[in-house]
Amino acid sequence: MLVRPSRPRANVSRSAPYAGRMLDQHVDHPELRKARGAFFTPPAIADYLADWAVGGDKEARVLDPSCGDGVFLLAAARRLKELGCQTSDLDDRAFGVDLHEPSLEDAMRLLEHEGLDAHLIADNFFNLAAPTQLGCVLPEMDAVIGNPPFVRYQQHIGEARQRSAQAALAQGVRLSGLASSWAALLVHACGFLKPEGRLAMVVPAELLTVHYAEPVRRWLRRRFGAVSLVMFDRLQFDDALEKVVLVVARGSGGCEAFSLLEVDDAEDLPKLGVFDHFSVTPAAEGKWTDLLLTIKQRQLFKRVVDSHFAPLDKYGSPELGTVTGSNKFFALSETTREEFDLSEDQLKRISPPGTRHLKGLSFTKAQWQTLHDQDERVWLLHPDPDDSSAGLGRYLAYGRDLGVPDAYKCKVRTHWFRPPAVSVPDLFFTYMSHRYPRLITNSAGVTFLNSMHGVRLHESTKRLAKAALPLLALNSVTMLGAEIHGRSYGGGILKMEPREAATLPVPSPDVLARAWERLKPERDCLERQLNNGLWTTVVSRVDEALLRETVGLTGDEVAELDEATQSLRARRIGQDLAAS
How many C-beta atoms surround the C-beta of residue 121 within 10 A?
A: 24
Could you give the C-alpha distances from 506 to 313, 314, 431, 479, in angstroms and in order? 10, 9, 15, 9
Q: Could you write out the DSSP letters of every residue in 505-520?
A: EEE-HHHHHHHHHHHG
pLDDT at 370: 97
The residues, ordered by sequence, that sit 6+ positions from 525 with a Cβ below 8 Å of its Cβ are none
Could you read off the pLDDT tens digit of each residue along the chain, which spans 580 residues? 777 664 433 333 222 222 233 333 344 444 544 443 445 678 888 999 999 999 999 999 999 999 988 999 999 999 999 999 999 999 999 999 998 899 899 999 999 999 999 999 999 999 999 998 888 889 999 999 999 887 554 444 568 788 888 999 999 999 988 888 899 999 999 999 999 999 999 998 889 888 889 999 999 999 998 898 988 876 545 554 567 899 999 988 888 777 888 877 777 787 776 555 566 777 777 777 887 787 788 889 999 999 999 999 999 999 999 999 999 999 999 999 999 999 999 999 999 999 999 999 999 999 999 999 999 999 999 999 999 999 999 999 999 999 999 999 999 999 999 999 999 999 999 988 878 899 999 999 999 999 999 999 998 877 899 999 999 999 999 999 999 988 877 677 888 999 999 999 999 999 999 999 999 999 999 999 999 999 999 999 999 999 999 999 999 999 999 999 998 988 888 754 333 3
How high is the pLDDT of residue 419?
A: 95
pLDDT of 78 reads 96
CA dist list (Å): 198 to 103, 143, 374: 25, 5, 65
Look up residue 192 and give its amino acid: F
Contact 128, 99 (CB under 8 A): no
CA dihedral over 368, 486, 500, 172, signed as positive or negative? positive
Its pTM stands at 0.67
The number of beta carbons lying within 10 Å of the beta carbon of residue 455 is 25
48: enclosing H helix or E strand = helix 43-54
Confidence at residue 205, expressed as pLDDT on a 0 to 100 scale = 85
Distance CA 235, CA 266 (A): 10
User: Does residue 42 contact residue 74 with C-beta atoms inside 8 Å?
Assistant: no
3-state secondary structure 122-150: ECCHHHCCCCCCCCCCCCCEEEEEECCCC
Contacts of 264 (CB under 8 A, 6+ apart): 232, 233, 234
Query: In the chain, how long is the greatest CA-to-CA distance?
Result: 93
The identity of residue 276, as a single letter, is D
CA distance 175 to 178: 8
Q: What is the pLDDT of residue 157?
A: 53
Q: In 165-204, at which residue ranges do the beta strands (DSSP E only) sit?
A: 193-204
What domains can you pick out in the chain, each with its CATH number?
A: 2-6+38-292 (3.40.50.150), 293-316+425-580 (no CATH), 322-421 (no CATH)
In degrees rounded to 5, what are phi and psi of residue 287?
Answer: -80, 160
Dump the DSSP string for 89-128. Answer: GGGGTEEEEES-HHHHHHHHHHHHHTT---EEEES-GGGS
- pLDDT at position 233, please? 72
Q: What is the C-alpha to C-alpha distance for residues 35 and 184, in angstroms, rounded to an integer?
A: 18
CA distance 345 to 382: 8
pLDDT of res. 132? 85
Identify the bridge partners of residue 506 per DSSP, sorted by sequence position: 310
Query: Taking the alpha carbons of 519, 521, 527, 528 in that order, is the dihedral positive or negative?
Result: negative
* Rounded Cα gap, residues 519 and 534, in angstroms: 17
Secondary structure of residue 200 in the 3-state scheme: strand
Q: How many Å apart are CA 415 and CA 403, to the nearest integer?
A: 15
- Among 395, 271, 409, smallest CA distance to 333 is for 395
